[in-house]
Amino acid sequence: MMTVLGLLAGTCTTFAYLPQVIKTWRTRSTNDVSRGMFMLMVTGIVLWLAYGILQNDLPIIAANLASLVLTATILIFKLRFG
Contact 71, 38 (CB under 8 A): yes
Q: Which helix (H) or strand (E) holds 1?
A: none
What pLDDT, on the 0 to 100 scale, is given for residue 19? Answer: 93
The predicted model scores a pTM of 0.84
Give the pLDDT confidence of 12-61 residue by residue, as tens digits: 988 999 999 999 999 999 888 899 999 999 999 999 999 999 999 999 99
SS3 letters for 28-75? CCCCCCCHHHHHHHHHHHHHHHHHHHHHCCHHHHHHHHHHHHHHHHHH
What pLDDT, on the 0 to 100 scale, is given for residue 7? Answer: 86
2-81 domain in CATH 3.40.50.2000? no
* For the chain, domain boundaries: 2-81
Mean pLDDT, rounded, for 4-19: 90
